[in-house]
Amino acid sequence: MPTSDAPVGAVVRVPFPYTDGAAQQHRPALVVAAAGPAPAAPLLWVLMITSAANRGWPGDLDIPDPRAAGLPAPSVIRTAKIATIDAARAEPRGSVDPATIAAARACVRERLDLPADLRPERPEV
């Protein structure tokens, strides 16, 4: 059942868009941030998860415990594929350990060329 209660580190099943934007496929993904002006429009930033049997990409991270993540087979986090998803469409599956989420977020920061200690200031509303 979809829910908007998907914390950072949760593995969720979501409609993940293809890179050409023409279609979507339901697949597992790792929540790396809440991105929306909750609660009015809760959004999640997620990284695609794929089978470890697929050809690897630079930046792929192994998921050490697929069972805890709710995955049926050895899998990797594909840090090069990030999407913004409506949180209401996320179906919880499991979670990853703190070291794995920290490594995934570090990969995203590196890809965006952001310093590790970056904490953007939020404007007053």
Q: pLDDT tens-digit profile of 31-52?
A: 999 876 656 668 999 999 999 8
15 within domain boundaries:
yes
pLDDT band at 114 (very low <50, low <70, confident <90, very high): confident
Strand partners, 99: none
Number of domains making up the chain? 1
CATH number at residue 59: 2.30.30.110
76 within domain boundaries:
yes
Q: Tokens standing for 73?
A: 């087979």
123 within domain boundaries:
no
User: What gap in Å lies between CA 60 and CA 57, rounded to an integer?
Assistant: 6
